[in-house]
């Protein structure tokens, strides 16, 4: 089986499960008992494989980790209770006081906030315009260990210079982390641009149904960690391309404890089975909505990489299977953003993204409120910007909803 969906749909049953169960069961257990104390010790010491304590390992979570690894074509994955826990634990496990991180300035708001917190704890961060590899290169100094970018930035849909930054990191020996949440491994595999580690918020497209939180870090196997100072000697066994994921699991997950629960892992694994089907539909809907909005009198600007006028339209077309399912737009000055938002009847006013339902949010007043007007301006976030996470509804219903919300505001 080589197809993206075939591999995911059949991955559980290819390992033996009691009664021939087709889904990995929900293992609701904290601890695992052993008949032989020597075997228990061997598992703790790593000379035998097995389960110890639920903060570090759970069979249901393992099954999901295998799916994410297969989707990303990586070598290993560790799951966390949220996407933020994955990012925070990765930085905590791999960087130390005095280290420097170069990050895209076009970031998920909470990641921006997290990086500012790490600055207060002694890990310096420089934010750069990751649409341009030269800007990333200019941000690197002798203490830089890692470069962090997103694929399509939320909410303004800037596309990072993913391939060029991968090349730069390879030349300079830097760890290259790509947050693939907005594209998911169905639209894009960051391993193709030489990423070292991949972040996915499983909460979004991979889970897809807005019913469970989760995050993942996947090691691609492309980075040689023997040249990275911050790996502890105890984790330097075996293949150096897997040392980071071992340290993330032992020093990150075990010390910090942001472990994914078995029940959430089950929900996310079921969601993952239909990732490709959902995204084909969501991206087609997004394209139609972006084209519709672009021709609406009450809209001032539309941001979607599938539109020919988008600054990185060609880059997105070259890298991604589809240009994503997030559309954002600025209303014309005469349209009241609150009246317009309240006019939406099918589209839900909500903060999540990647859900089956179409969700809209006035970003400057909500998820990007706390960062203040200056930082918002630097990210290109206007007060009239509305972000739409496009769902799987029938496109006619979505277009009719946008049309009536505009018309009811006297701006047809
Ligand atoms: C949502 C999101 C996250 C954080 O994921 P949670 O599961 O909500 O913690 C990280 N990165 C991006 C790009 C996201 O959209």
Closest protein CA for atom 1 of ligand 1: 201
Q: Is 153 in the pocket of ligand 1 (CB under 6 A)?
A: no
Within a 13 Å sphere around the CA of 244, how many CA atoms are in the beta-carbon half?
Answer: 30
| Res 375: pLDDT | 85
- Ramachandran class of 46: left when φ > 0, alpha when ψ lies in -120 to 50, beta otherwise: left
Q: Is 66 in the pocket of ligand 1 (CB under 6 A)?
A: no
Specify the DSSP element, H or E, that contains 377.
helix 372-378
Q: Is 111 in the pocket of ligand 1 (CB under 6 A)?
A: yes
Q: What is the CATH number of domain 4-272?
A: 3.40.640.10
86-113 residue pLDDT tens: 999 999 999 999 999 999 999 998 999 9
Check: CB of residue 398 under 8 Å from CB of residue 346.
yes
Q: Torsion angle of alpha carbons 137, 139, 140, 143, nearest 10°?
A: 180
161-213 residue pLDDT tens: 999 999 999 999 999 999 999 999 999 999 999 999 999 999 999 999 999 99
Q: Is 355 in the pocket of ligand 1 (CB under 6 A)?
A: no
Q: Is 150 in the pocket of ligand 1 (CB under 6 A)?
A: yes
Beta bridge partners of 150: 179
Ligand 1 centroid–CA 182 distance in Å is 9
How much of the chain, in percent, has pLDDT values that exceed 70? 99
Closest protein CA for atom 8 of ligand 1: 83
Q: How far is CA 33 from CA 24, 48, 101, 201, 263, in A?
A: 20, 15, 42, 32, 21
Domain ranges of the chain: 4-272, 275-407
Whole-angstrom distance, CA of residue 115 vs CA of residue 135? 19
Q: Is 183 in the pocket of ligand 1 (CB under 6 A)?
A: no
3-state SS class at 31: strand
Q: Which two structure tokens, joined as six digits, stand for 161?
A: 């210079």
- Indicate if the pLDDT at residue 38 is higher than 80: yes
> Model's pTM, two decimal places?
0.97
**Mutate-to-test residue for ligand 1 from 181, 258, 264, highest number of ligand atoms within 8 A of CB:** 181
Degrees, nearest 5: CA angle 200-204-208: 125
Any idea which residue has 């961060």 for tokens? 125
Ligand 1 centroid–CA 41 distance in Å is 37
Ligand 1 centroid–CA 13 distance in Å is 30
Q: Where are the beta strands (DSSP E) in 65-174?
A: 76-80, 100-104, 124-128, 144-150
Q: 275-407: what fold?
A: 3.90.1150
292-328 residue pLDDT tens: 999 999 999 999 999 999 999 999 999 999 999 999 9
Q: Please, what is the average pLDDT of the chain?
A: 95
Domains 4-272 and 275-407 share a fold: no
Closest protein CA for atom 4 of ligand 1: 83
- Indicate if the pLDDT at residue 412 is higher than 50: no
């Amino acid at each position: 089986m080589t197809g993206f969906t075939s591999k995911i749909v059949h991955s559980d049953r290819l390992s033996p499960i009691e009664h021939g169960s087709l889904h990995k069961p929900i293992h609701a257990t904290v601890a695992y008992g052993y008949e032989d104390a020597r075997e228990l010790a061997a598992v703790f010491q790593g000379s035998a494989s097995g389960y110890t304590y639920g903060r570090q390992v759970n069979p249901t979570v393992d099954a999901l980790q295998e799916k994410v690894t297969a989707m990303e074509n990586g070598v290993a994955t560790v799951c966390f209770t949220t996407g933020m826990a994955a990012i925070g634990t990765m930085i905590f496990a791999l960087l130390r006081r005095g280290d420097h991180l170069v990050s895209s300035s076009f970031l998920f708001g909470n990641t921006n906030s997290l990086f500012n917190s790490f600055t207060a704890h002694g890990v310096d961060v420089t934010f750069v315009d990751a649409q341009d590899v030269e800007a990333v290169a200019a941000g690197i100094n002798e203490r830089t260990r890692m470069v962090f970018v997103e694929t399509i930035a939320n909410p303004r849909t800037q596309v990072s210079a993913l391939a060029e930054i991968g090349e730069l990191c390879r030349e300079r020996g830097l760890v290259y982390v790509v947050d693939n949440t907005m594209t998911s491994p169905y639209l894009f595999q960051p391993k193709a641009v030489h990423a070292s580690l991949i972040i996915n918020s499983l909460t979004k497209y991979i889970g897809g149904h807005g019913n469970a939180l989760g995050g993942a870090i996947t090691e691609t196997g492309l980075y040689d960690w023997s040249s990275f100072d911050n790996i502890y000697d105890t984790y330097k066994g075996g293949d150096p391309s897997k040392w980071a994921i071992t340290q993330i699991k032992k020093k990150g997950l075990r010390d910090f404890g942001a472990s994914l629960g078995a029940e959430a892992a089950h929900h996310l694994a079921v969601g993952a089975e239909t990732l490709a089907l959902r995204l084909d539909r969501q991206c087609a809907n997004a394209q139609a909505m972006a084209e519709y909005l672009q021709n609406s009198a009450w809209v001032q600007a539309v941001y979607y990489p599938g539109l020919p006028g988008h600054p990185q339209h060609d880059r997105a077309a070259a890298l991604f299977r589809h240009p994503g399912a997030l559309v954002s737009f600025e209303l014309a000055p005469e349209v009241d953003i609150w009246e317009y938002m309240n006019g939406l009847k099918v589209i839900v006013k909500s903060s999540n993204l990647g859900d089956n339902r179409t969700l809209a949010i006035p970003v400057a007043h909500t998820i990007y409120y706390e960062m203040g007007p200056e930082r918002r301006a630097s990210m290109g976030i206007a007060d009239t910007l509305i972000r739409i996470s496009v769902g799987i509804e029938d496109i006619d219903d979505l277009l009719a909803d946008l049309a009536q919300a505009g018309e009811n505001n006297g701006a047809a």
